[in-house]
Structure 1
Amino acid sequence: MKHDSNSLIDALVDELVPVRPLRRAEGGALVLAATVLTGLLVLAINGIAGNVLAGAVSPMFLLANGLLLLLGVAASASTIAMASPRVGNRHDGTGWALAMAAVFPAVTLALLAAHRADLPHLLDVAAGWHCLVEALLSSLVVAGALLLWLRRGAPVSPRTAGIHLGVAATALGTAVYGLSCPAETIYHLGIWHALPVLVGGLIGRIVVPQLLRW
C-alpha cells in the first residue's frame, strides 16, 4: 500500500514545473510602462491641450486629475496584490482613494442641482460623450497589462479583481487623457472625467471574471 501511495504521488507531481514567483514590483513596473505608453499614444493622436502646454491649468484640473491618479495607483496596487493571494492581504487603500475621489463628482452634482436651468450649457453633452469615449479607449493598454498580470497569478475573487482592474485602468487612462482635454470646468471634470471610472468598474466586474477562469 505504501508503494502504491508513493507511485500515486510520483504520478501527480511528474509533470509539475517550477514557476517564477510574482513580484509586486514587477507588476508596478508593468503598470507604469503601460501608463507611459498610453500617454505617448494619447499625445501622438490628440496632441496636448493648450492650457497644459502653457502651464496655465486651473486648480480644478489639478484636483480632478490628482485624485484620479491617486485612485489609479491605489486600485492598481490592489489588483497586483490580488494575483498573489495570501493571508492578511488588505485592499483598504482603494476604498479610501475611491471615497476621496467621489467627493469631486458629488460636489459637482450638488452644483448642477442648484443650477438646473443651465444644465444643457453646463454639461456640454457632445463634448462630454467625446471625453467619455476617449477616456475609455485610453484605458485599454493599462487594462490589458493588469489582465495579463492577473492571468499569471491566481486571484481567488475574480469579480472583486475585475472591479479593481476596471477602476485602476480607467482612472489612470482618464488622467492621462486629461492632458489632451481642453475643458477644465468643475462641471465637465466632475461628471465626464468621473463617469469612465464608474463604467470601467462595471465592465471589469462583468468581463474580467470570464477571462480569469482557471
Structure 2
Amino acid sequence: MSMNRVSNSLLDDLAADLAPVQPIRQWQGISLVVVSALVTVGLVDLAEGLWHGMLTGEANPLFFLTYGMLGLLAAASALAVLRMAQPRIGNTQDGARWSFAMLGLLPTTALVSLAVGGSFAQLVDDPYGFECFAWSTGLGLLSAAAMVLWLRRGAPVSLNAAGTFTGVAAGAIGSVSLGLACPIDTLPHLGVWHVLPVVVAALLGRLIVPTLVRW
C-alpha cells in the first residue's frame, strides 16, 4: 500500500506541472510566411520601387520564367518547413527537392552559354550582380525568422533538413522580392546572381537554424 501511495504522489506531482498547449495549425504557419513575404515586397517597394516593366510588356519572358520557378521553390520549401514542425508518417519534401533541382537548370544554362561564347567577363563585369546577390540574401531574413519561430512552436525531427529548407525558402523569397524591382533580365544575371542567394541561404540555414530550434 505504501508503494501505491508513493507512486500516486509522484504522478500527482508530475500532473501538477502540466499545462495545456494550444495545437499549432498549418494555416497559421502559411499565413505567417505569406505575411512575411508581403512585408518584404513592401520594403523593396518603399526602398527601390517596383519595376513596372513587367506589367507593360518590357520584361523578357525569361524574367517570368526565373521568378516563377523561384516562387514555386519558395512555396514548396516553406510548406516543407511548416510540415516538419508537425512530424508524421509519410511527411516528405519531394516537391521542394524537385523544385530546387529544376532551378539548377538556370545557372547551368547561364554558365554553359557564357563558356561557349567565351564571355565570362560579362558575369564578372555585371555592375549590379553582387548588389542583387547581397540584397536578395538579406531580404530573406524576415521570412527565415518567421519559419524559425514556427519550428520552435513545433517538434521538428530532422533539424538539418528543416534548416536547409528554411534557408532555401528564405533565399527564394528574398530573390523574388528584389527581382520585382530589378529591371535586368539577362540570362547570366538572373541565372547566377538571383539564384546564388538561394544556395548560400540554404547553407547558412543548415548551419544556423538547428541551433535556434533544438529542443
Taking structure 1 as the reference length, what is the TM-score of the superposition? 0.95
Checking the alignment, whether the CA contact within 8 Å between 2:170 and 2:201 is kept in structure 1 is: yes
Distance in 2 of aligned mates of 1:115 and 1:25: 48
Q: Deviations over 1:157-211 (max 9, x none)?
A: 1111000000001111101110111210011000001100000000000111111
Q: CA RMSD in A?
A: 1.3
The separation in 1 between residues aligned to 2:51 and 2:38, in whole angstroms, is 17
Q: Which runs of 5+ in 2 are unaligned?
A: none
CA distance in 1, matches of 2:58, 2:8: 72
Which residue of the partner structure matches residue 170 of structure 1? 171
Please tell me the residue identity of whatever aligns with 1:29: S
Residues 1:72 and 2:74 are matched in the alignment = yes
Unmatched tracts of structure 1, length 5 or more: none
The alpha-carbon deviation at position 126 of structure 1 amounts to 3.5
Aligned to 1:189: 190
C-alpha distance in structure 1 between counterparts of 2:85 and 2:95, whole Å: 16
User: Do 2:48 and 2:181's aligned partners in 1 also have CA atoms closer than 8 Å?
Assistant: yes
Question: In structure 2, how many angstroms separate the alpha carbons of the residues matched to 1:119 and 1:51?
Answer: 27
Structure 2: distance between partners of 1:172 and 1:146: 12
Q: Could you tell me the percent identity over the aligned residues?
A: 43
Q: CA deviation at 1:125?
A: 4.0
Q: What TM-score does the superposition give when structure 2 sets the normalisation length?
A: 0.94
In the alignment, residue 94 of structure 2 is paired with which amino acid?
D
Runs of 4+ in 1 over 6 A off after TM superposition: none
1:63 Cα deviation from its structure 2 partner: 0.5
CA shift in 2, pair 1:46/1:53, >3 Å: farther
Q: Which amino acid aligns with 1:134?
A: W
Report the Cα distance in structure 1 between the residues aligned to 2:171 and 2:66, rounded to whole angstroms. Answer: 14
Quick check: 1:34–1:145 contact (8 Å CA) kept in 2?
yes
**1:23 pairs with 2:25:** yes
* d(CA) in 2 for partners of 1:113, 1:104: 14
Distance 1:57-1:129 versus aligned 2 partners, 3 A rule: same
**Between Structure 1 and Structure 2, how many residues are aligned?**
213
Q: Following TM superposition, by how much is the alpha carbon of 1:123 offset from its aligned partner in structure 2, in angstroms?
A: 4.4
Point out the more displaced range, 20-29 or 49-58.
Answer: 49-58
Deviation of 1:86 (Å):
1.5
SS of the equivalent of 2:127 reads helix
Which residue identity lines up with residue 165 of structure 2 in the other structure?
H
Report the equivalent of 2:97.
Answer: 95
Counterpart mapping for 1:128-147 below 5 A: 128-147=129-148
